[in-house]
Amino acid sequence: MDDNNKPGPLRSRPTMRELVYFCVISLVLLVSLAIAPAKNYFSEWRHYQKSYLAIAGQRQSGTLVRSFQGGLHQTWIAKLGVVDRCESCHVNLSGALVGASEQPFRKHPPMPHKLDEFGCVICHRGQGPATSVKEAHYTTEAWEQPLLPARFLESGCGQCHLGPLQGAPRLNEGRSLLSSMGCVHCHTVAQPDGNVLKPDDNPPPLTHIAEKTSREWIYAWIKNPQLYAGSATMPNFQLNDQDAADISAFLIAQSSASPASGTETKTVATAAPSANASIEAATLYGASFCSSCHAIQNEAGNLVGGNLGPELTRVGSKVNPDWLRRWLDNPSSYHPGTRMPHYRMDQKQVALLSGFLLAKKDNDYLANVHLAPASADSIARGKKLVAETGCAACHQINGVNPPQNFAPDLTLVGSRALAQVVFAPGMKHNLPDYIAAKIHDPRSFGPGLKMPKFALGDSQVDELTTALLAQTDRAAGFPKELIISGGRTTNYHPGGKAGRLMEDLRCLSCHAINGNGGDMAPDLTWEGSAVQHTWLEDFLKNPNTLRPALIRRMPKFNLTPDEIKTVTDYITSAYQSPALDLQPLDPHVLNADAAGRGKQLFYSKYGCQSCHIADYKNDKGYVGPALTSVGNRLTPEWTYNWLKEPNAFRPATLMPNFSLKDDEARDLTAFLMTLKAKQGGGK
């Protein structure tokens, strides 16, 4: 610069300024480079491990301090894709340091699984590999699934346990709600084993609706089903007056004549309804055990009865009397898929019962409904609305096909990417809250959404959310051997003449056979092996409850002796268990000696009387069925095998497996077979 063109030597040493710049910047650079390792050293997990050691030191737990291994702790399970480093901070999950109640040192409650077999995040969610509080627990850019709030925790179980699971009541209830509220009519929910949840709400067909009820009732009902019956399953579509009027017009217009409409119903009961008759009718209602399925609101406003069928509190305001009589006479001629049994009532009973039901009336209910006569326009518009609203997803309607893929598939909803979720304004951006809000009030997400509002309590919303959160893609990728399928519902139906009879009686509405049917009454899959022919015949003639704690029992269906024989023959021959071991029981073994030993075992060694009653005078067991006449009821082979391994025959039974020795089981069987009623059947 200064040595312009001079022949002399150019400056050859760095100037002081260059040196100073160089030194200062190099120094700053070195210091800056040291910051990253320092940050690393003061990381959160190191901090927590130090404070754990400090607490342990204060408590004089010298052994704990000495045995503690510092550093990152991780659970790595390759087959599940689990890398969990939670234990780097949560160092006291085992509770070795007693009384540390502050997180992250709190002791974990008893775990149903081993930590090194499943890790943490499979149940709890959150980001397992993370080693900072924020990343591990909350939603971040790189991780969407935050730690699950405790009230949804059972969804973790539901990833592998696809059926009902003891200890997970919310999950179980949520799953049954998915079926019983009819969610799965519109939404597909498939489980990792391929099982697709099926609806269990049995919505009535609307193809002959005009015979059953009036347009006014339909109008009032679809506007707000819960106004008619608080327990109604049908959701509220929040229809405006015009839409409801049009839809009701269309539904009446599309209605065709049912096969039953031809049957003449004799108006026998017109003969003066006396006070006597009303008592008789109420008795018939009780004796037919209508309340096992139907509920009626009593004066205190409480619902009394089951929820398998519709609530009957205001049924008189709803149904056409002729239709009701035809229905009571034979329900399936109006609704072939109904769960209501064919009671085989005589004309008098039908008249009594219909009179009783028609009196269940709320005169105010339809007082304010005045509809203009249906025009062709209105009907056409109603049809369009029915198709748009998706009524046909649940109900059979003439001229409207059930919509396909009407609602989003919920198979993997429990791990849906947040980017695919449209949140309502002001909502917390996480999946559990989204699902819960969507179930609680679907229309709050904006106008034009189709999902209706279901009448669900807060706890039911949480239960449904729990069940849906179990539908994760993680579970879909689990090794097959981890998946524990639930009892798969099958399409089993009994065949032949007896089968037709059993269909007519709707046995499967309450009993399950071969994986199909209800759970109100005992499973009959192996009933043929279990019970004796004569007992079954007697029972069908005059059903009685076996369990002392139960008031409900099987209704009496007025069967003819022929019908009883057909059904009994069929059950005792068809429902035989192949697992029954017939070998060790020849009649000689079941002698009085054995019975004596069996009595000893019954009362002393195994204390069976705490759940069962063998003798009404002394025993107070109300959990299991009474055994006073079990010698008439059960077969010896069944009794023997049942005693040895009860859950081999009925997995859900409460009866414990006592691991009886062969001779003990034999002796107990001998004893039980001596318990016979004085004169066949009865108490």
> Strands 516-517 and 82-84, how do they pair?
unpaired
Rounded to a whole number of angstroms, the minimum distance from the CB of residue 141 to other proteins is: 6
* Binding segment toward other proteins, per CB under 8 A, in 26-34, 199-207, 262-270, 402-410: 26-34
Per CB under 8 A, the list member of 54, 98, 227, 417 interacting with other proteins is 417
* Binding segment toward other proteins, per CB under 8 A, in 31-39, 165-173, 208-216, 379-387: 31-39
> Strands 512-513 and 295-297, how do they pair?
unpaired
Residue 287 near residue 353 (C-beta atoms within 8 A): no
Rounded to a whole number of angstroms, the minimum distance from the CB of residue 474 to other proteins is: 12
Site membership for other proteins, residue 424 (CB under 8 A): no
Rounded to a whole number of angstroms, the minimum distance from the CB of residue 197 to other proteins is: 22
Touching other proteins, residues 51-110 (CB under 8 A): 72, 83, 85
Per CB under 8 A, the list member of 52, 119, 121, 144 interacting with other proteins is 144
Site membership for other proteins, residue 617 (CB under 8 A): no
Q: Which residue has the tokens 């089968």?
A: 499
Closer by beta carbon to other proteins, 18 or else 662: 18
One-letter amino acid identity for 295? A
* Binding segment toward other proteins, per CB under 8 A, in 289-297, 417-425, 564-572, 605-613: 417-425
* Binding segment toward other proteins, per CB under 8 A, in 11-19, 212-220, 514-522, 552-560: 11-19
Q: What is the SS3 assignment for 513? A: strand
Interhelix angle 275-287/347-358, rounded to 10 degrees, is 100
DSSP letter at 213 equals B
DSSP letter at 622 equals -
* Binding segment toward other proteins, per CB under 8 A, in 12-20, 316-324, 513-521, 536-544: 12-20
Count of residues near other proteins by CB under 8 A: 40
Cross-strand pairs, 190:
196
Phi, psi of 294 (to 5 degrees): -105, 145
DSSP letter at 72 equals -
Rounded to a whole number of angstroms, the minimum distance from the CB of residue 105 to other proteins is: 21
Closer by beta carbon to other proteins, 72 or else 111: 72
Torsion of CA 304, 307, 310, 312, to 10 degrees: 0
Residue 590 near residue 635 (C-beta atoms within 8 A): no
Per CB under 8 A, the list member of 37, 301, 373, 447 interacting with other proteins is 37
Rounded to a whole number of angstroms, the minimum distance from the CB of residue 427 to other proteins is: 13
Interhelix angle 376-389/241-254, rounded to 10 degrees, is 100
Site membership for other proteins, residue 44 (CB under 8 A): no
Rounded to a whole number of angstroms, the minimum distance from the CB of residue 447 to other proteins is: 20
Site membership for other proteins, residue 29 (CB under 8 A): yes
One-letter amino acid identity for 321? P
Q: How many CA atoms lie within 13 A of 516 on its CB side?
A: 9
The interface mask with other proteins, positions 102-141, x = CB under 8 A, is ---------------------------xxxx--x-----x
* Binding segment toward other proteins, per CB under 8 A, in 24-32, 47-55, 360-368, 563-571: 24-32
Site membership for other proteins, residue 304 (CB under 8 A): no
* Binding segment toward other proteins, per CB under 8 A, in 5-13, 164-172, 280-288, 564-572: 5-13
Q: Establish whether the linkage from the previous residue to 235 is cis, with ω within 30° of 0.
A: no
Closer by beta carbon to other proteins, 5 or else 368: 5
Strand positions, DSSP E, 300-408:
303-305
Task: Output b/e per residue, 124-160; b: 16+ Cβ within 10 A.
Answer: bbbbbebbeeebbbebeeebbbbbbeeebbbbbbbbb
Structure-block tokens of residue 67: 């045995």
* Binding segment toward other proteins, per CB under 8 A, in 29-37, 59-67, 320-328, 353-361: 29-37
DSSP letter at 634 equals B
Phi, psi of 190 (to 5 degrees): -105, 140
* Binding segment toward other proteins, per CB under 8 A, in 19-27, 399-407, 536-544, 578-586: 19-27
Site membership for other proteins, residue 409 (CB under 8 A): no
Per CB under 8 A, the list member of 33, 78, 150, 300 interacting with other proteins is 33
Rounded to a whole number of angstroms, the minimum distance from the CB of residue 434 to other proteins is: 16
Structure-block tokens of residue 515: 């994986």
The interface mask with other proteins, positions 551-580, x = CB under 8 A, is ------------------------------
Closer by beta carbon to other proteins, 115 or else 412: 412
Contacts of 455 (CB under 8 A, 6+ apart): 225, 226, 230, 232, 235, 236
Measured CA to CA in angstroms, residue 284 lies from 177, 305, 666 at distances of 32, 15, 44
**Helix runs in 59-114, H state only:** 62-67
Closer by beta carbon to other proteins, 88 or else 639: 88
Closer by beta carbon to other proteins, 26 or else 657: 26
Maximum separation of any 2 CA atoms in the chain, in Å: 141
One-letter amino acid identity for 540? L
Query: H or E element: which one contains 539?
Result: helix 533-541
Per CB under 8 A, the list member of 68, 138, 143, 406 interacting with other proteins is 143
Rounded to a whole number of angstroms, the minimum distance from the CB of residue 417 to other proteins is: 5
Site membership for other proteins, residue 425 (CB under 8 A): no
Distance, CA of 563 to CA of 68 (rounded, Å) = 75
DSSP letter at 130 equals -
Closer by beta carbon to other proteins, 34 or else 287: 34
Rounded to a whole number of angstroms, the minimum distance from the CB of residue 129 to other proteins is: 5
Closer by beta carbon to other proteins, 258 or else 430: 430
Rounded to a whole number of angstroms, the minimum distance from the CB of residue 476 to other proteins is: 12
One-letter amino acid identity for 437? A
Structure-block tokens of residue 404: 């396909």
Distance, CA of 504 to CA of 342 (rounded, Å) = 6
Structure-block tokens of residue 40: 């690393």
Closer by beta carbon to other proteins, 200 or else 473: 473
Touching other proteins, residues 312-371 (CB under 8 A): none
Rounded to a whole number of angstroms, the minimum distance from the CB of residue 233 to other proteins is: 34
Closer by beta carbon to other proteins, 21 or else 616: 21
Phi, psi of 71 (to 5 degrees): 100, 175
Sites of contact with other proteins (CB under 8 A): 1-5, 9-14, 18, 21-22, 25-26, 28-29, 32-33, 35-37, 39-40, 72, 83, 85, 129-132, 135, 141-144, 417, 419-420
